[in-house]
Structure 1
Amino acid sequence: MISKDIQKVLISEDQIEERCEELAKEIENDYNAKGEIPIIVGLLKGSVPFMAELIKRFTFACEIDFMSVSSYDGTESIGDVRIDKDMDLSCKGRSVLIVEDIVDTGRTLKEVKKLLLRKGAKDVKVVSLLDKPERRVVDIEAEYTGFPVPNEFVVGYGLDYNQKYRNLPYIGILKPEVYQ
């Protein structure tokens, strides 16, 4: 039972679903106003539950793709961003919406945005389920954010510790004894 490792539920499943509804409307309104439909790009693996919850609420026909990027080893951001799987679709001349589970140090997002712009993306925006501004080491913000979170080790709804806890239907704070 993985829930025994959770110190506290920070954001409930109902809160996440409600916020996804609001974010989807805001995103759709913004892109409709520009007359564009973005390529929705999920950053694997953490974004999958959030991306699934978000895109099922869009009423426009959207294309989705994935990238796998890494910059973590256990609990620490190592600063070196590695592209393990690039997009299959071309982003040249297109708007791209990156779906991220959490903006932490910001290193990963900054590098991914730079890469997509170098490949000719018209613009690159970010929607992130969580934002942890206390940990930011580069100047970057998501255009759309679900929830700010404190500087605690959070898991669930796609976020993991050593590939575990992604399947929790909520965001919880992991007990320190689990990762120390």
Structure 2
Amino acid sequence: MTAHGELARVMLTSRQIDVRVQQLGAEITRDYRDRDLVIIGVLKGAAAFTVDLARAVDLPVVMDWAAVSTYGRGSTAGEPQLLKDIGEELTGRDVLVVEDILDTGTTLSWLMARLRGQDPASVNCCVLLRKPHAVAELVEPRYVGFDITEHWVAGYGIDYAERHRNLRDIYEVRLPSAVKSASSS
């Protein structure tokens, strides 16, 4: 148990995250050299990861932000809704969408399809965390930070009930037993 109550244990330390972000940055630098790269971070969960990743990319990149929600005021996912659109023109440019967690893939699939409609040269994605057994939509990220289990997580920009985004490590969330059994069905 941690001092943060609902957080059970550290799943990924800040050091592990830093090392992997540097590796991803080197891969992206190699793959997008001499290209016009626009990095689009998905708010709010991917904000910390997007900034750190962009700093690890040794290229002149443009950054922009999108906010998409599938939850509204409840805890059950619905249809994606665009809360904040990007401002950059994407025609003929390479786009890399940066997301915190790939779970069902619904939000990321919807956002990438929307961006493809703006006639970019390419649209790929980079996810910090991937839950391989939960992916329902056809989303194949070009870059993956870590594969994790089905646990709910918080920290490093990722929230649990809007809390814990400020933590440097990523923690497993200790769910109340009623929520845990509903989320595993």
Cα distance in 2 between the residues matched to 1:175 and 1:23:
29
Comparing 113-122 and 76-85, the one that deviates more: 76-85
Unaligned runs of 5+ residues in structure 1 are: none
Give the 5 Å matches for 1:1-180.
3-32=4-33, 35-72=34-71, 76=75, 78-177=77-176, 180=179
Q: Which structure 2 residue ranges, 5 or more long, are not aligned?
A: 180-185
Q: 1:42 to 1:25 in 2, by over 3 A?
A: same
2:25 aligned counterpart, secondary structure = helix
Partner-residue secondary structure (3-state), 1:151 = coil
User: TM-score if structure 2 supplies the norm length?
Assistant: 0.90
CA-CA distance at 1:72 after TM superposition = 2.7
When the two structures are superposed, what TM-score results if normalisation uses the length of structure 1? 0.92
- 3-state SS of 2:149 partner: coil
Number of equivalent positions: 178
Deviations 1:110-158 (A, max 9, x none): 1111101111112111011100122111121211000001001111111
| CA RMSD in angstroms, aligned pairs only | 1.9
The letter of the residue matching 1:151 is E
| Alignment correspondent of 2:182 | none
> Is this contact kept in 1: 2:26–2:58, CA < 8 A?
no
Give distance in 1, aligned partners of 2:160 and 2:178. 8
Name the amino acid aligned to 1:47: A
Change beyond 3 A, Cα 1:158–1:148: same
Check 1:38–1:178 CA distance in 2 against 1; reply closer, same or farther (3 A cut): farther
Q: Which has the higher strand share?
A: 1
Structure 1 stretches of 4+ moved >3 Å: 73-77
Secondary structure of 1:176 counterpart: coil
